[in-house]
A = this chain, B = another copy of it.
Amino acid sequence: MTTVPRLTDAERDAALSSLPGWVLRADGLAICKTFRFGDFAEAFGFMTRIAIQAEKADHHPEWFNVYNRVEITLTTHDAGGLSTRDVALARAIEQAA
């Protein structure tokens, strides 16, 4: 498996500033955002759009759903923190929302 480089702090901060609502997890190794929809069907439709993008990119979210709420965490285990893959997936998620 190819090693994915971890973002520098400057790269991470630049990426976060262009991703409204995404916050750095307390340990600095992941970014998180909570989305709310009108109901479960809307929330799961959103998850399905993301699942297809994630599978294409071979980079997957950690996520929790209850009814109309979806909490997403992105991190790159191979990088031991955040990588460009997380930024790309966050942008795809914003488009799906």
Query: Pick the contact of A66 from B47, B60, B67 — CB < 8 Å?
Result: B60
Contacts of A61 in B (CB 8 A): 66
Using an 8 Å CB-CB cutoff, how does the interface string of A25-54 with B read, 1 for contact, 0 for none? Answer: 000000000000000110010011001001
CB within 8 Å of B: which A53-76 residues = 54-55, 60-67
B64 and A63 contact, CB distance less than 8 A: yes
Classify chain A's interface size: 10 to 19
**What CA separation (Å) do A67 and B55 show in the bound complex?**
10
Report the minimum CB–CB distance from A6 to chain B (whole Å): 19
Contacts of A67 in B (CB 8 A): 60
Contacts from A to B (Cβ < 8 Å) = 40-41, 44, 47-48, 51, 54-55, 60-67
New contact pairs (6) apart from A60-B67, A62-B65, A63-B66, CB-CB < 8 Å: A40-B51, A40-B55, A40-B60, A44-B51, A62-B64, A64-B64
